[in-house]
Amino acid sequence: MLEKLKGRWKVNGLNLVLIICTFAVGGSLCGWAGRKLLLLTGLEKGLAWILLYIALVTFLWPFCVLLISIPLGQFSFFIKYLTKIWNRMTGNTSPISIAIFASGAGSNAEKIIEQTMVSVKTNQCSFSVDLIVCNKPGAGVLDIAARHHIDTLLIEKEQFFRGDAYVGELQKRGISFIVLAGFLWKIPPALIKAYPNKIINIHPALLPNYGGKGMYGAKVHEAIIAAGEKESGISIHYVDELYDHGNIIFQAKCAIDENDTADSLAEKIHSLEHKHYPAVLEDLLKNAK
């Protein structure tokens, strides 16, 4: 049974224990709180007392569980768990299931994940990050996925470029949209064909300038500084068969000062990415529903 729960909830053994503890302690807390509140009513035990107790416990349970989940490090799991329960009860349309492809530290991926948590709280969640796809074992984005209880898929070149590009695996997992966040491999035609206009990328420059093969990360910022540009920015665009070529969805700019270096420009660009990528994705998928 425990192995089935680990598979269903996509957690390791330690997190499973902490989740079970959260259920147990949260349930005990809401039972205790329900009895304390009933004492304030002065009701004697009877049918009315029992019915009111059941109503109070039902109302208090999600709050108590979320409260206990914080010190046990399971808050993100229970936010997603309670959201699914709420959607089933209310008949709300399920959020669009997305996969984030990343190769490195995953700062943009984490900002997008955090956006889903904010949207859940405001009941305006248009998407759910259900899979992190990575081509580098040990990449920081895998730690982020583990922390947020998100499933991961490690991919290798042969299958990605000369096999089915993992299309079957993505479809089996119900992935409807793909977000590239620092993913350094070119997307193969098989994946683009399977997800037409459903793959987006963020580039650390104002396309069509400073894009193309080999233009990523620090190389972009170094080229922009060397050219003496007065401004740079980010471009969020759809992905097609060419590097940094698909239709542009959104751009944001920042000024380049005379004392800026590639490193200081990178900090400005990261700030723009973290501010705009999650918000643009939220708007894009909200309109797609």
Active-site amino acid positions? 203
Strands 151-154 and 177-180: unpaired
DSSP SS3 for 186: coil
> How far is it, in rounded angstroms, from Cα 235 to Cα 237?
6
State how far the Cα of 149 lies from the Cα of 216, in Å rounded to an integer.
Answer: 29
Residues shown for the chain = 289
For 258, the 3-state DSSP assignment is: coil
- Using CA atoms, how far apart are residues 289 and 69, in angstroms rounded to an integer? 31
Per DSSP, what are the bridge partners of residue 132? 100, 152
